[in-house]
Amino acid sequence: MEVAEVRVKCILCEKIEKIDDQLPIAKRLRNRPIHTYMCADCNERIAEKTKERIATGKFHIYRSGKEQEIL
């Protein structure tokens, strides 16, 4: 039995990869086109940069007004 693959393109580096058709990300991309794909390299790079910014102490998460009212 062959494994179906989906071709996806990273939104940042535009690298084209093939992922298994049964993975949750493939199903999300197929059913809701608004979702985007980011390759593992870009995802890891962004995670590292975010951790560095958090470590500086100058990183703030801005929330919408509705969430602030609840909190």
Q: Domain ranges for the chain, please list them.
A: 5-70
pLDDT > 50? residue 56: yes
**Residue 10's pLDDT is what?**
92
The set of residues, in sequence order, having a beta carbon less than 8 Å from that of 42 and lying 6+ positions away, is: 10, 12, 13
Average pLDDT of the chain is 84
pTM: 0.65
Q: Is 69 a residue whose pLDDT tops 70? A: no
Dmax (CA) for the chain in angstroms is 53
pLDDT in tens, 15-49: 999 999 888 888 888 888 788 889 999 999 999 99
